[in-house]
Every structure is written in C-alpha cells, then in structure tokens.
Structure 1
C-alpha cells in the first residue's frame, strides 16, 4: 500500500496566527520584541533550532519555549483551524495509508489532530520528542517509518509539506516531497520539491498518480 506522510502546520491546519501570537507574547516576557508577522518564518522548524536565529542564548531559548508552551498548548486543540478543503482532501485519499509527520511535540500534535476531528484518517500521528532526541523533520520522519515498518526503497512513500524542512527531511530517506503552495514557505523555498501543488484537486491528482513516489 502507498503511504503519504503529511505535515501539520501549513499543510493541514492554518496555525500560523495562533503560534506566532503566543510566541510573540512569550518572547515579550523575556524583553524580546517581535511581532507575529516577524515570527512567521519560525512556523515549521523546531523552536529549539529556530529561536537562536533571533539572537537568543540557550537559556533564553529554553525560557521562551517554556513560556510559549504554558499558553499555546492549552488552546492549540480548540483554537487551531483546519484549512478549507482539508476534510475533503483526506476523504478523497481513502485508498492511501496516511500518517502525520510534524516537528511539533507529538502529544500536542495528537491533541490538535483529534481536536479538529481528523484523527480517524491517520494510522499514526508522529511528532517530535525532544527529551529523547527526536527533533527536526528528518528525525520525525525516521521515527514514523520505523513505527510503520516502512522502507521507502521498497515501498512507495511520499511526503506532503509546505516548508523546505519537509523537503530536506524526506530527502534523507529518499522520499520525494509534494509541496503545497498554501502554507508558509518563502518564495523559492520549495524548489527542491518533486512538485508544488496549488490546491486540493491538484494534490489529489498527484497522490493518486504514479509519478511522485519513492518507488513504484
């Protein structure tokens, strides 16, 4: 059976406004002023690796993440909106095995997927596990593959995501990525994707065709 790994933020859910609002407030507690708009590029990669780019020390990074989690995690499952068309997309992909692969902490990702009512479509919701060293998209994808018993060289797998982290992480396992244009990528960021799609119909066509899988 073919398996599609789907990113969460910027692919299935339009979470940027909620994430950047809470991250901006967390940084303000440390005396660091950044508007939600300025923080948009940080939606996708793990904050542990993204926040130091703002000039934060390791101690400040840890403090900012702790403050962010204290507020964001409490509302993520109830205030994160699905993109229009996500439910239709998942229903049309019923012939594929679907799994979530996100850099979000796995417990938070699971609550969001359940909260927006799409958990029944997935055989697994895989996310980060920082205490055990699972951080970044490649580590998450590797964990999902292991738990599903998948070898992309022998079984057809594809990644679907909106950032270069998805493309790069999947490439480490020889998995092509279908980029989605409705997420949070900067111009040209998805140049390494096998294909960039602009809507649900185009994504369904790509996932039900034969051209973009790790093996046929």
Structure 2
C-alpha cells in the first residue's frame, strides 16, 4: 500500500481569502487590533486558536475567538475558497494508479467535507482526516495519528508520504516518522520548506516527486 496524506488549506484548496475575512471578523468582535498584512498572509494552516494566542490573547480569549471564527465559517465563510489549478486532475491520476489518498488537515471536519465535495475532490479521497471543531483533535500530529489509527495504517513509514505547505505539516508528519513534500503554491515560506524532504513548485513537479518516491519503493 502506498499512502499519500494530503493537507487541504494551501495544498488542495486556496482558502486564504475566507480565512482572512473570518480572522478579521473575529478580531473585530473581540475588539482586538489587527496585525500587519504580513502576519495575516500566513495565518492559514495552524488551528485558529493557536494563531490568536500568538497575538498575545489569553487561552480563554483565544477559545472565545475560536467560537466566533467557527460561527462565521458555519454561516458561509467555508465557501470563500477555490481549488488550486491542476490539483484535482492530479488526484484523479493518483487514484487511477492505485494510490491510497487521505487528507490530514487542521481544518474542521465538516468544513473540509463541504469544500472538498463542492470542488470535486471528495470522491477521490479514501479517508477524510481532519480536526475536530470542538474537541481535542486540533493539531496536525493528532490528526495524522487519527488517520493512521482509524485505518490501521501502522505500517512501515516508507509507505506513507505527507504533502503540505506549512511547517506544522512537516513537523506533525515527522512526529510519526513520515517525510513531507512541501508545496510552494501554498502559504508557507522557503524557511519552512527547508526541513521537508522535497519541495514541489508546481503540481507537475509534485507528480514527478511522488513518481520518484514510488520508484524507490519498488
């Protein structure tokens, strides 16, 4: 079995516009000053409460902010996103080649399902691994553990490859002994990608990297 763990935000889906609007709405509701644009350009990926804590909020206020953000997302913010060009076709090819595909996203499970279904990805995904909107499974390592445990994929880690765009994808996978291919069209930086096994700059580049990975496994 060859398994690809796929991040969603910044890898399959360009969700930054909706995340930014929800983030700013949350700050306004909390009467908290907005950070600069550079900060806001890199908020997609980690759990929202982690981002809010990084602004100096207390744990209690960050949890209140998470609730505000999730309510904004439920009211339609989840739909403010589009798929990255070329990624849906790539998933179709991977499935036709017999790869097992699972998401491993810090996005809430219901929101991930909605956007992946609308954009046509869901039918090609064998298992939807996502964070809990109201529960302990929030960080990437916990999501990956959920994916592996639920499916009984406690296999040789050389059988699994993570694809993501941020440092938390790389670090979360590494906690399970899994290598990551960083994708440069997402929201990360070259500094973040430096710790990945490889970096893909286009979907075609990613397809070649996965092909090489499969070849090394025989």
Relative to the length of structure 2, the TM-score reads 0.91
Deviation at 1:49, TM superposition (A): 2.2
1:119 matched residue in structure 2:
122
Deviation at 1:71, TM superposition (A): 1.5
User: Residue 166 of structure 1 is aligned with which of 160, 164, 169?
Assistant: 169
| 8 Å CA contact 2:141, 2:175 repeated in 1 | yes
1:151 matched residue in structure 2:
154
| 8 Å CA contact 1:178, 1:196 repeated in 2 | yes
2:19 matched residue in structure 1:
19
Deviation at 1:211, TM superposition (A): 6.6
| 8 Å CA contact 2:106, 2:139 repeated in 1 | yes
| 8 Å CA contact 2:193, 2:199 repeated in 1 | yes
The superposition leaves residues 77-98 of structure 1 with CA deviations (integer Å, 9 ceiling, x where unpaired) of: 5332001111111112122110
CA change 1:60–1:77 in 2 (3 A) is closer
1:30 matched to 2:52:
no
2 CA distance for matches of 1:131 and 1:210?
Answer: 36
| 8 Å CA contact 1:76, 1:108 repeated in 2 | no
1:103 matched to 2:111:
no
The superposition leaves residues 23-58 of structure 1 with CA deviations (integer Å, 9 ceiling, x where unpaired) of: 111111111122683323221111222211101112
CA change 1:42–1:161 in 2 (3 A) is same
Deviation at 1:21, TM superposition (A): 1.0
Stretches of structure 1 lacking an aligned partner (at least 5 in a row): none
CA change 1:130–1:71 in 2 (3 A) is closer
Stretches of structure 2 lacking an aligned partner (at least 5 in a row): none
1 CA distance for matches of 2:101 and 2:110?
Answer: 18
Relative to the length of structure 1, the TM-score reads 0.92
The superposition leaves residues 154-178 of structure 1 with CA deviations (integer Å, 9 ceiling, x where unpaired) of: 6600000000101000011111000
- Which region of structure 1 is more displaced relative to structure 2, 4-13 or 92-101? 92-101
Q: Secondary structure at the match of 2:213?
A: coil
Deviation at 1:133, TM superposition (A): 1.7
1:51 matched residue in structure 2:
52
CA change 1:67–1:212 in 2 (3 A) is farther
CA change 1:174–1:139 in 2 (3 A) is same
2 CA distance for matches of 1:92 and 1:204?
Answer: 9
Deviation at 1:201, TM superposition (A): 1.0
List, as ranges, runs of 4+ consecutive aligned residues in structure 1 with deviation greater than 6 Å.
none
